[in-house]
Copies of this chain bind each other. A is one copy, B any other.
């Protein structure tokens, strides 16, 4: 007979279950806000709430997701540092736990999803500047102004991001 702590898995009351669903829904909204698929919000929400690490199978059952979606969602969450795997002795399966502090979460997201794009934009802008030098000066005036404005936008963005992290308390 496989005995688990009786308080945890089977005994959630209807009210507690409703709260869990509502909280997960909240994470789904956050995911949507930052442009991530619903399933990713559900996965993170489920792990955020859980009182101990869960396996892929736990998540699939609780959320009714397919294997593929679960695997890919977890991969994304790990890539931004929102979820980590936890070793559980005597169990070959991966166990996943949520990073519940806001700061590393935001940091990971900015690093992986925003900073990459910023770098890309910087390169494009630089390329544009190079071509712009070849353009006849009479025609160049307006474009010059626009490119300069964009460069300032970019500079602002780079200033703000680290500051943002500093403000979010650990």
Interface residues of A (CB under 8 A from B): 2, 4, 7, 11-13, 15-16, 18-20, 22-23, 25-26, 29-30, 33, 35, 48-49, 51, 100, 102, 114, 117, 120-121, 124-125, 127-128, 131-132, 134-136, 138-140, 142-143, 146-147, 149-150, 152-153, 156, 159-160, 163-164, 167-169
| Contact, CB under 8 Å: B127 / A22 | yes
Q: Which residues of B sit under 8 angstroms from A22, Cβ to Cβ?
A: 124, 127-128, 131
Judged by DSSP, the binding face of A is: helix
A160 touching B164 in the complex, CB below 8 Å, given contacts A29-B120, A124-B22: yes
Q: Are A138 and B26 in contact (CB under 8 A)?
A: no
What B residues does A131 contact at CB under 8 A?
2, 15, 18-19, 22
